[in-house]
Chain A
Amino acid sequence: MSGAGRAPAGGWRTATVAGVRRPLARSVQLRLDVPDRVDHLPGQHYVVRLTAADGYTAQRSYSVASAPDDPLVELWIERLDDGEVSTYLADVVEPGDVLDVRGPIGGWFVWEGDEPALLIGGGSGVVPLVAMVRHARAIGAGDLLRIAVSTRTLAELPYAAELVAAGALVGTTREAYGIRPAARLTAMDLLPLWEPGQTSYVCGSTPFAEAASQLLVGMGVPPASIRVERFGASGEPVPPI
């Protein structure tokens, strides 16, 4: 694991909510107009900070789903029942609201579009991978990506149609999907997707990320080529150590 490099980083901005969609239960897709925006790399995240009338603040980080060439920044937020920030964003935010945001942040879990990559996402862990898929589509680099995602059911998978259209192998753990029975991802699923020279990007809950990265290591994938982003207890995809 070496240091990657100085990825783009932006300061605090006052973003305007341009669009709010709730395509799935218990989550929300926010489209933000960020003034004086620093373009992100696919895989980076933003911090959203909420301020109460008495000055109390709460902030959490969310992965960007949009490609860098999108004029808006799209965040996908999974609603956690005890989530102080995610419940507000999922239940209260309307178009026209303003939000303090900071980003882009993070320079390790990024794909710049110029090297082969294996993307493995679990549940809402697919969000930063969607930014990579969209970027690949924008620059005509879709051939560089191999994708496997895991979800309870297809109906619960964020961006399911886009991921399927990009050729993602979809592992469903609570229902059969196509010829595949309900099961977690296995080495049998991942082996056909792996090629020497790939960088692997694994994102999901801590148990998912641990299991998927150990599957790769067990397949002989060099650990130094595996980049992992785990969701903490707070549900946010920001992974210092």
Chain B
Amino acid sequence: MAGPTRGFLGRSRAPRDPRLPPGQYDAGADWPVLTAEPTPRITPETWSVSVDGEVANPTTWTWDEAHELPGAEYRGDIHCVTTWSKFDTHFSGISVDSLLEAARPTAEGRFVMATSKTGYTTNLPLEDVTGGKAWLVWEYDGKPLPVEHGGPVRMLVPHLYFWKSAKWISKLTLLKRDQPGFWEQNGYHDRGDPWRQQRYQGD
């Protein structure tokens, strides 16, 4: 690296919030929309989510069926690879654990490919979506999740960069071996831990 950049002072960083991972900034009240495809139109009546692949009991839930599962919520921060973070978010829906308990991954199902209604995909190790670390959410701040933010239902994996939190979630497929999803095929990191700045392949 070139060392200090001539004449660059940067913002005042005395009060840097310890919740901010390296290389991130606080987006405040903003919630940028970043999507690589047209926003689809999906109604709760036509939405469903399936868990398939390396599972003992492949299962599909409709909107009503998903709402019968135990409710779960997330309160905390989210981090986008484009360097914004947003503090104190509040999402509600269900835990991915509830879906996996019903579908029962086989011993060989070690990875998950999340697929959106649009065909967007993102890959995750199973341990990143189990143990209360991942949700399917349909409410933000107590209101229905807006379509531009992935509504009616999106995945939420807040301990990883937000491209792992697939919008318009429609399927979780258990896999024996890891396969790159959409952005992962296009230069982004396979895991995406913001605290380790795993932004791009090779980080």
Contacts and interface: CB of A to CB of B under 8 A. Distances in A.
A98 B5 CA distance: 7
Nearest to A230: B34
B32 A50 contact: no
Contact of B120 (A1, A102, A105): A1
B34 A52 contact: no
A214 B188 contact: no
B185 A214 contact: no
Chain B interface main SS type = loop
Interface in A5-34: 5-7, 9, 11-12, 14
A241 B187 contact: no
- Size class of A's contact patch? 35 or more
Interface in B144-179: 148, 161-163, 165-167
Nearest to B8: A50
Interface residues of B, number: 54
B120 A107 contact: no
A60 B187 contact: no
B107 interface: no
A223 B37 contact: yes
Given A88-B8, A229-B36, A234-B25, A3 B2 contact: no
Contacts of A233: 27, 30, 32, 84
B148 A210 contact: yes
B11 interface: yes
A57 to B, nearest CB: 7
A240 B183 contact: yes
Contacts of B201: 9
A31 to B, nearest CB: 17
B186 interface: yes
B2 A51 contact: yes
Interface of A: 1-7, 9, 11-12, 14, 49-53, 56-61, 84, 88, 92, 97-100, 102, 105-109, 206, 210, 213-214, 216-217, 223-224, 226-230, 232-234, 236, 238-241
* List of 9 A-B pairs having minimum Cβ-Cβ separation, nearest first: A107-B186, A240-B163, A232-B32, A1-B119, A213-B38, A3-B185, A233-B32, A233-B30, A14-B2
Given A49-B1, A105-B200, 16 more contacts: A4-B182, A4-B185, A6-B185, A7-B187, A50-B8, A52-B4, A58-B11, A98-B2, A98-B6, A108-B186, A214-B39, A216-B38, A233-B27, A233-B84, A238-B34, A241-B34
29 contacts: A2-B119, A3-B182, A5-B185, A7-B187, A9-B201, A12-B1, A49-B1, A58-B11, A60-B83, A84-B10, A88-B8, A98-B5, A100-B5, A105-B187, A108-B36, A206-B32, A206-B34, A210-B148, A223-B40, A230-B34, A232-B80, A232-B82, A234-B32, A234-B83, A236-B82, A240-B34, A240-B82, A240-B188, A241-B163
